[in-house]
Amino acid sequence: MKLTLHLKLLSDTTFGRGDGVSGLVDQEIEHDTKTGLPFIRGRTLKGLLVEECANILYAVPDADRVENTARQLFGIGGSGLHDAGLLHVGNAELQQNVVEAVQRDIDNNQLQPSDVLDMFTAIWRQTAINEETGTPDDGSLRSSRVLLRETELYAPLEVALSDNDPTKEDTLALLSACVAALRRGGIGRNRGRGRLKAQLEGVNMDRYLEQFELMARSSH
């Protein structure tokens, strides 16, 4: 079953790649170096969904039905390939027509990758403040690239279920709940940064959220 995870950034957000660019930025975002187009890695998104699933399991104690579905959907932590779970998450990219237009302009030498990156991002600079003096600490200036708010990205999801699988309803219900709960991402999300809205396209998400409420109640 193929679905789409649709993300809309509600604030400037850094989905970092773990390093910077000497002399330019300390924290760089994920982007295609050939086109400059930003993206979010599928494994990053799956990690965020797993995190939301863990929060849901904590909020719904003794929910064996939900827990069993979570294990089936996301797999078992530290397990081998055969227990990797039903869900595969691809990279989140800009709309396909945007990607194609940029690629065309790159091929025609009308745009450089650096131009494209600058179209969708900005660089934030900040310093650490000394709590005792209230002044900036020397040498604490840090810079990070951010994806601009209102940016929308789309990630392909594949759930290894057939239409007549008896676990389909519970699986899609839990996946919908995890997507609905995903409201922050990127660096600093635990400090109030990286606000976003996530939607699951390809199914009736509202119906499956209602299904999840019934599922959670029946687990007690």
| Cβ(3)–Cβ(208) below 8 Å | no
pLDDT at 192: 67
Average of per-residue pLDDT values in the chain = 86
DSSP β-bridge partners for residue 75 = none
Report the chain's C-alpha Rg in angstroms.
20
Residue 110 CB burial class (10 angstroms; 0-12, 13-18, ≥19): exposed
Q: Global pTM?
A: 0.86
pLDDT at 156: 98
Q: In the chain, which stretches have pLDDT less than 70?
A: 16-25, 76-83, 126-141, 190-192, 219-220
| Cβ(73)–Cβ(54) below 8 Å | no
- Spatial separation of the C-alpha atoms in residues 96 and 22, rounded to whole Å: 31
- Spatial separation of the C-alpha atoms in residues 73 and 83, rounded to whole Å: 10
End-to-end CA distance of the chain: 29
Sequence-distant (≥ 6) Cβ neighbours of residue 6 within 8 angstroms = 152, 153, 154, 198, 199, 200, 201
Helix (H, G, I), strand (E, B) or coil at 8: strand
